[in-house]
Structure 1
Amino acid sequence: MDKIWLKSYPPGVPAEIDPTRYSSVAELLEEAFRDHRTKPAFVCMGKEISYGELDALSRKLAAWFQSKGLARGARIAIMMPNVLQYPVAIAAILRAGYVVVNVNPLYTPRELEHQLKDSGAEAIILLENFATTLQAIVRNTSVKHVVVAAMGDLMGVKGALVNFVVRRVKKMVPAWSLPGHVKFNTAIAEGSRQSFKPVQQGPDDVAFLQYTGGTTGVAKGATLLHRNLIANVLQSEIWLDPVRANRTDIDQFITVVALPLYHVFALTVCGLLTIRTGGLGVLIPNPRDIPGMIKALEGYPITTIPAVNTLYNAMLNSPDFHKLDFSKLIAANGGGMAVQEAVAKRWFELTHTPIIEGYGLSETSPCVTCNPVTVTEYSGTIGLPLPSTEISIRDDEGNEVPLGQPGEICIRGPQVMAGYWNRPDETAKVMTPDGFFKSGDVGLMNENGFVKIVDRKKDMILVSGFNVYPNEIEDVVAKMPGVFEVAAVGVPDQHSGEAVKLFVVKKDQALTDADIFTYCKTQLTGYKRPKIVEFRTELPKSNVGKILRRELRDGRA
């Protein structure tokens, strides 16, 4: 296969990266801790922690977990928004020789139980705001150690006030009870009296289980090895080099960390890449609060902002947008969902920096393609394969299609996962004999190597950059006594790109859309919940009785 995309690379970007540069993500982190000790690493609500503090705190927490007798490779879940404890927890788990299981803190008990049971997690670090969710299901899981953090834990004197406001004024912490839990700061204090034992880890050890729906809609853990994440961090770094390398006027790169760190895009590009380059990450716990986010960013000369279309659009429409300092902005990365041309054009007009659209998946750590950072025009493509990455566009028989013809986007590279956790059959369905991962997305490649997404093979719905799988929504709604049949599809939405729409055939004629909305609120996290319900007397089906979602989506039925 000719790598025709290489001719379109910006000058200085190599065809290959060296994924063996580090033996583990822990080694990458520890190098940054040594090289940048006095620099601030992350800031949240005005409180900074330095690389030296991140080193010390994560070492103590790692020692605490090791003292609990967890075996090497044990899975530890993190269930928090973007707060200072998140990077501490990631570094601690990896340095101690364990595996990070990222969990969406807005999950319902049903969703959380599945992920903890499937991963076999033996410990969890979570923010107290979400402790009631764990309380509901913890007895059904293998979790033995629960560390509960509070918003103000690492904020010193200010922290007590922050916790008072969160608990008493804003009432954001429902009453909870988790017998035997340990407070985050207590674990740090106890860990300081334990000896941390460095663990020799290799590139083929598991680093993260990143959960994704896949085609079945049942959440599966993409098994990401240390070498997968290292490769993707280095690929992302080298891709940004053309706009970063000569900026001697920038003392420290400042990244907006508004995307949640439990999302793989944020984990790699906002978290690990920021640390690798000695940058400062501005943590935004609630990116839906645009005024609060802009206030948190005021005074920081932002250099990089990875975001999804929804967030760019919300920022552009804020009356306070002009308060942000984009004088040093070198890169605005768009991923997770398609970037709309109108949003891209307006962003460029106001910041003089283009939104550089890319493409990735949980299974690929995540970045696969990206537009060159040197372009200024909106292209509507997802860009070129990154260094050391091959893209093959194939038909249903697995044959490569001619240039310009649509087919399934298949990916081979050092960032591709080892497989789905404990699901060899599912893994076999998505890996080709010659080592390509079948994305399930339909795209085409032009003569210059640029890839454009045409359609999604899966019936997946993309809500604000999050994958929503119709099967899961349908399984949940079908359990309602008043529902005879249900189909879920994605429909265009001005704010979130797509929204979930349900087509329902009633069993009980008294059933209302309000009943369905109320039920879904208890079973599904926010972005998965339907926005629209349409009642039908019947649903279109194939000759074997399969509901034809596409006909419903296209308005043909």
Structure 2
Amino acid sequence: MAQPSGSKSNVDYIPTDNLFAYTFLNREVNRRFDPSDDKVLFHEPVTLQDLTLARLRDDCLRVAKSLSQLVAWVPAKDDFGVPGAIVGPVVMIHLPNCCAFPVIFLGGLAAKCTMNLVSPVQSPKELAHVMSLVQPDVIFTQPGEAGEGILKKTFPLLSKDSVSPKIFTVEAAQYPTPSPPPHHLSSSNWLSLLDQDTSFRVEPMSAYEQAYRVACILWSSGTTGKSKGVMHSHRALVTSGSYWQKPSKEYSNNEVWIGLPPFYHIMGLETIMLLAPLYGAKVVVMRKFELETYLRLISKHRATYLNVAPPLALALAKTPLLDEPWCDLSSIRAVGCGAAPLGPDIIREFYRRTGIRILEGYGLSETGCFTYIPDQASPWEVVEKRIGYAGCVMDDVDVEVRDGTGKALPSGEPGEIMVRSNLQMMGYVRNPKATKEAFSKDGFVHTGDIGMINKERFVKIVDRIKDVIKYNGFQVSPVELDAVIGAMPSVLDVGTTSVYSDKHASELPIAYVVPRSAELIAAVKRGDKNSPGLKVFAEEVFNMVGEQCAYYKLLRGGIVLCDAVTKSPTGKILRRSLKHIKGIHIPYQNQPGMKAKL
């Protein structure tokens, strides 16, 4: 396990606590806010029920007591392929965002379980891959086809000697319930775990245990193959909470956030779910994205700050719903965007329409969220100068930009961004080869991102190393092409990748484009290749790239007109999967009148 050493990332102010104890019991340590017990932290808009800090803390203790009794029989685990790692009984949360999620997560950590967080939209095959690696002892899932049904299809794909887990069902909108929980509950209903007192004692942790005990496992999106289990210690999660106290001057004790980013993803986990109890923020829980519902929740609850991924930022910039009389975004201080780079024209368009700044942040499942967005209330002139930068690196995080030989590059020169801090992962589950490749010899994590850092420690992401298209020796950024095409008013969405050409002996850029026009999308769905509107639209896209980009970036692989671009649940374009999209291919034709930049 690569632990930071010999760097400023070894800070002595990080409390050596179990994450639950840091969150609820040692509230005098390194805190800017001290929310009261009656502060509402999570709100369920379907039932209008509120989860207060006191209820969250007490129900976590009830869950911890029940789980500790339930898993007492579980044999000691191995290190999951990461030397020194301490793995507890594995509890898998297979749920969408809901008020029960933080209760189960923090309650499990209080009981020293290892929490395995998985997307509820994974296929049985994908879920079987995860379960075969971690062998969960307890599973929390939804009743019906969305949860139990997926598990039923998954179990036959596992080996016969796999652990038979105890399964609890969670009705996403059922909690919070009146306290105490209803009588006559099924033993498989997770609410039965709340039938306990709050006398559970959370055991103290030494600094060593905090650094090596696995708190949770997140799963990479699998954009470069099968998903990898990213192991995080209690120290990493406590460090995240401590680091986020420093830039909290931008926040008040009356924050309202929309809980749309998945809690099983690093952004939703670290910057929403786990920050809410520390800041006393109210999180309005949202399970499934629907743009009008999202905007209505913002307007009704007077949201103060939004965390979004690029597809949502694009949708917000272009939707006509912003002009509806009921749509009121005046309470929003700023919008934070992460998970992938965002085109500058989208940021400018959203500001033009709303007067609200979109500010980019940066982090990976492997590194944690390690940049923050200072001066959220800065004038637009200041913000506009920083468009393209993904936030400022936190003080106690080491970041270097290195070339292909591992040599550190000076400020302003592009190379691979390398990160080292107490936020970073311990390693990948049962994948020592990938773990070794993820770390440099001096403990920095390879992000796989090409970028640069300026003298003020602002980071700019240029591209992903593995996404770069190589055309006749030139490097072509799909992110840049996405930004150029996505800025067109007639384009709803776009994803760019490459196709290999034997004729040219090279990769060729190809764009998968979703038209904004409902008429054109209908033609795409019909497979109407002869629709004149499609050809005109494609020519507009070809011409835009030709006018805005160098000649070697032209869409020589053509354009595929489609009705949706393949993305992960967190909004990342799955570039390796774009080739599977069925649409109408418009081949590239070198037009004499089209001039490209040199």
TM-score (norm 2): 0.68
Q: Aligned pair in 2 of structure 1 residues 213, 306: CA closer, same or farther (>3 Å)?
A: closer
Report what 1:356 is aligned to.
359
**CA distance, structure 2, for counterparts of residue 143 and residue 501 of structure 1:** 43
Report what 1:388 is aligned to.
396
State the Cα distance separating 1:499 from its structure 2 match: 6.6
**CA distance, structure 1, for counterparts of residue 223 and residue 499 of structure 2:** 19
**Contact 2:256–2:281, Cα closer than 8 Å, also in 1:** yes
Counterpart mapping for 1:278-317 below 5 A: 278-287=280-289, 289-316=290-317, 317=319
- Aligned match for 1:88, one of 98, 103, 107: 103
Question: In structure 2, what residue type is equivalent to 1:274?
Answer: A
**CA distance, structure 2, for counterparts of residue 35 and residue 253 of structure 1:** 11
Residues 423-450 of structure 1: CA distance to partner in whole angstroms, max 9, x if unpaired? 2222111211211111111112334433
The answer on 1:404 being equivalent to 2:412 is yes
The answer on 1:532 being equivalent to 2:581 is yes
Counterpart mapping for 1:343-382 below 5 A: 343-368=346-371, 370=373, 373=376, 375=378, 376=380, 377-378=383-384, 379-382=387-390
Q: Aligned pair in 2 of structure 1 residues 194, 327: CA closer, same or farther (>3 Å)?
A: closer
Q: Aligned pair in 2 of structure 1 residues 533, 327: CA closer, same or farther (>3 Å)?
A: closer
Report what 1:196 is aligned to.
200
**Contact 2:9–2:422, Cα closer than 8 Å, also in 1:** no
User: SS at 1:48's partner residue?
Assistant: strand
**CA distance, structure 2, for counterparts of residue 387 and residue 214 of structure 1:** 30
Q: What is the RMSD computed on CA atoms of the aligned residues? A: 3.6
**CA distance, structure 2, for counterparts of residue 496 and residue 409 of structure 1:** 28
Counterpart mapping for 1:23-102 below 5 A: 23-31=17-25, 35-45=35-45, 46-70=48-72, 71=74, 73-102=88-117
**Contact 2:117–2:218, Cα closer than 8 Å, also in 1:** yes
The answer on 1:269 being equivalent to 2:284 is no
Bigger drift between 180-189 and 201-210 goes to 180-189
Counterpart mapping for 1:154-193 below 5 A: 154-156=175-177, 182-189=188-195, 192=196
**CA distance, structure 2, for counterparts of residue 305 and residue 433 of structure 1:** 38
**Contact 1:64–1:194, Cα closer than 8 Å, also in 2:** no
Counterpart mapping for 1:196-275 below 5 A: 196-201=200-205, 202-204=209-211, 205-213=213-221, 217-241=225-249, 243-244=250-251, 251-275=253-277
**CA distance, structure 2, for counterparts of residue 215 and residue 109 of structure 1:** 18
State the Cα distance separating 1:238 from its structure 2 match: 1.8
**CA distance, structure 1, for counterparts of residue 273 and residue 348 of structure 2:** 28
State the Cα distance separating 1:109 from its structure 2 match: 0.2
**CA distance, structure 1, for counterparts of residue 493 and residue 423 of structure 2:** 28
**CA distance, structure 2, for counterparts of residue 61 and residue 500 of structure 1:** 46
Report what 2:467 is aligned to.
459
Report percent identity of matched pairs.
21
Residues 360-400 of structure 1: CA distance to partner in whole angstroms, max 9, x if unpaired? 10001233465653543232122332121121111111111
**Contact 1:75–1:120, Cα closer than 8 Å, also in 2:** yes
* Higher Cα Rg, which structure: 2
**Contact 1:372–1:384, Cα closer than 8 Å, also in 2:** no
Report what 1:132 is aligned to.
149
**Contact 2:100–2:176, Cα closer than 8 Å, also in 1:** no
State the Cα distance separating 1:138 from its structure 2 match: 2.9
**Contact 1:300–1:325, Cα closer than 8 Å, also in 2:** no
Report what 2:15 is aligned to.
21
Q: Aligned pair in 2 of structure 1 residues 411, 353: CA closer, same or farther (>3 Å)?
A: same
State the Cα distance separating 1:193 from its structure 2 match: 6.2
Q: Aligned pair in 2 of structure 1 residues 350, 17: CA closer, same or farther (>3 Å)?
A: farther
Report what 1:117 is aligned to.
132
**Contact 1:215–1:458, Cα closer than 8 Å, also in 2:** no
- Aligned match for 1:149, one of 153, 157, 170: 170
**CA distance, structure 2, for counterparts of residue 357 and residue 37 of structure 1:** 33
State the Cα distance separating 1:85 from its structure 2 match: 1.2
Question: In structure 1, what residue type is equivalent to 2:235?
Answer: R
**CA distance, structure 2, for counterparts of residue 18 and residue 354 of structure 1:** 35
**CA distance, structure 2, for counterparts of residue 24 and residue 460 of structure 1:** 41
**Number of aligned positions between the proteins:** 452
Q: Aligned pair in 2 of structure 1 residues 297, 450: CA closer, same or farther (>3 Å)?
A: closer
- Aligned match for 2:452, one of 417, 424, 444: 444
Q: Aligned pair in 2 of structure 1 residues 194, 444: CA closer, same or farther (>3 Å)?
A: closer
Residues 467-492 of structure 1: CA distance to partner in whole angstroms, max 9, x if unpaired? xxxxxxxxxxxxxxxxxxxxxx9984
Residues 149-181 of structure 1: CA distance to partner in whole angstroms, max 9, x if unpaired? 113321548xxxxxxxxxxxxxxxxxxxxxx97
**CA distance, structure 2, for counterparts of residue 132 and residue 363 of structure 1:** 31
Report what 2:440 is aligned to.
432
